Amino acid sequence: MANNRSTYAVLAGLVTAQSFPPWLMSSTLHLCAFTLLSLYITAQPKGAAEVEPSRNVGITLAKVTGGATNYLNDGEESSAPRSSGSNTPAAADSPTSALPELTDAIGPGPQLPIGDGNIGAAGLPSEGVLGATGLTQGTGTGQGKRGIGEGGQGETSVFGVSGRGTRFVYVFDRSASMSGYEGRPLAAAKRELLNSLQSLDKIHQFQVIFYNEKPHVMNLNPSQPPQLLYGDDQGKKLAATFVGGVVADGGTRHMDALLLAIQMRPDVIFFLTDADEPKLTAPDLRRIRERSRGTSINAIEFGSGPSSGRYTFLQQLAAENNGKHAYVDVTSLPRP
């Protein structure tokens, strides 16, 4: 500022020292004044407040959901959620791993095909319960060993062939040939089956399939797939009622009944038949072996007279599925 005043004094001195016309002197003084004013403005110190540009003022609403903030404008939600405090995508957009589907059913047993319903109403036989206690008492060898072993396993047998586990399925032939020899084969099969059930405890489970051309399953509710029953008194009485209504009739088809039993995933299957024909073929046996996956299949073979000693498909079935084979001469069975 001192420099500006000195400059002004010098100019004034120069003007006074010489003779100029008044108009020229006035113009010169005004020019000097404008020059000084321009220098003063240019010398304004830095850091002075700057004028901010005008802004639109309004109200913005924010909706926070699960870590993501959605900004609302004029009552409408923004189409794209913005993450609060992070540039990562919203959690909903990140890929998730699919949960594995359960492959085994939970409960008494897996879902199974329903039988044809020809054995009485509601899956029960039309005939009455056998015996005063609801169980047929016989002289067969099926009583087995009663009791609970390791892991709650039980042991039972059919015609001397034993099996050990917690889940048992009985697959018995009821074709017309089982009514021969005055009905002794079918009567002995029923008696042995019910005696075998007596060896089970209430924590064990079982199912009964009698078959001819197709399986006939003990199903208490035809509107639902049949399930394994527990070996308590009620389950055994229901089995006695079912077995009591079974009659021998029709032809023989082994495969469907066996595959149905395997689907139930038992520990042991007791398979009984008197049929030489039709035999299970090599592809049939391979299919059973591939599906059994740890299930033991015991085979009981009914025949007329002493065993011929020849190797049968029933022996092969048992050998390939960790089971045992027994031959029973039906002519030696007691009359019903």
> Domain residues of the chain, as ranges?
2-35, 59-83, 121-332
Q: What is the predicted pLDDT for the residue at 120?
A: 33
Separation CA 137–CA 240 (nearest Å): 11
Which pLDDT value is given to residue 123? 33
For residues 189 and 178, the answer to whether their CB atoms sit within 8 Å is yes
The answer to whether 236 and 209 are in contact (CB under 8 A) is: no
Q: Are 225 and 114 in contact (CB under 8 A)?
A: yes
The span from the CA of 175 to the CA of 181, in Å, is: 14
CB–CB of 288/314 below 8 Å? no
The token pair at 139 is 């002289």
What is the sign of the dihedral through the CA atoms of 239, 240, 245 and 247?
A: positive
From CA 320, how far away is CA 128, in angstroms rounded? 39
pLDDT score of 311: 94
C-alpha angle 116/318/151, rounded to 5°?
Answer: 85
Query: How many Å apart are CA 287 and CA 285, to the nearest integer?
Result: 5
Q: How far apart are the first and last CA of the chain?
A: 138
121-332 fold: Rossmann fold (3.40.50)
Interacting residues of 198 by C-beta distance below 8 A, sequence separation 6+: 135, 142, 143, 146, 236
In whole angstroms, give the CA distance from residue 158 to residue 200.
13
Beta strands 205-211 and 215-217 are antiparallel
CB contact at 8 A, 325 and 303: no
* Secondary structure E strands in 220-308: 229-230, 268-273, 296-303
pLDDT (0 to 100) of residue 223: 85
Sign of CA dihedral 45, 47, 48, 53: positive
pLDDT at 204: 97
Sign of the torsion angle spanned by Cα atoms 96, 99, 100, 101? negative
Partner residues linked to 68 by β-bridges: 65, 83
Q: Taking the model in full, what pTM does it have?
A: 0.59
Residues in the chain with pLDDT < 70? 1-25, 32, 37-151
